[in-house]
Amino acid sequence: MKNLRTKSLIIFVLFISLPFSTFAESASSRKSKSTEVNKIQDTQKAFEYFETELNFKTNAYFINRAIKEKMPNINIIDVRSAEAFRKGHIPGAINIPSEKHSGFEGNETDIPGLRKDAFNCIYCYSATCNLSQKAAKKFASLGYPVKEIAGGYKAWIEEYKFPVETYPTK
């Protein structure tokens, strides 16, 4: 009977300690996985990046709404060539062609058409074009509020199929 009691006690101790050891392993495993995730990406920097991106980007949907609602604090800037602008542009946009402004990498300090009392919403040809980013960087360095229109003119006409304005070619 003593032998049976000893075996029962051992089984009871194992039964009680098993969940705790499993829990300890799980917690340790979770901590290890958490560390692995942080090795994959700094999530705080990701948060900061996307928070910043949301502050400095907009999209065609918002711009179209701003046009329809005649929002006074939006200034739409097309940085494509004058020829591309004449063929079609977002309604109400003004053209500040990059080729007339050293690709926005020159020493200019005054760029007519920009406003300091509004967001200068800038677009170029497409999502793969970086002219709007160069322009936004330049304009911001001169103290102008800026937002990049994600997707550029291509998203406006192909993805959203929003209306455009054109001017006759010379």
Domain match, 33 and 96 both: no
24 found inside a domain: yes
Average pLDDT, rounded, for the chain: 84
Instruction: Give the CATH number for residue 72.
Output: 3.40.250.10
- C-alpha 78, offset from chain centre: 19
Number of C-beta neighbours around residue 90 at 10 A: 24
Average pLDDT over residues 143-160: 97
User: In which domain, by residue range, is 96 found?
Assistant: 56-159
Cα–Cα distance, 56 to 148 (Å, whole number): 6
- Detail the DSSP E strand segments found in 36-108: 57-58, 74-78, 94-95
- Is the domain of 16 the same as that of 61? no
Task: Please state the pTM of the whole predicted model.
Answer: 0.74
Apex CA 70: angle with CA 77 and CA 98, to 5°? 5
Task: Find the Cα–Cα–Cα–Cα dihedral 150, 40, 47, 30, rounded to 10°.
Answer: 140
What is the model's pLDDT at position 168? 72
| Residues in CB range of 127: below 8 A, 6 or more apart | 150, 151, 152, 154, 155
- Overall average pLDDT of the 118-139 stretch: 96
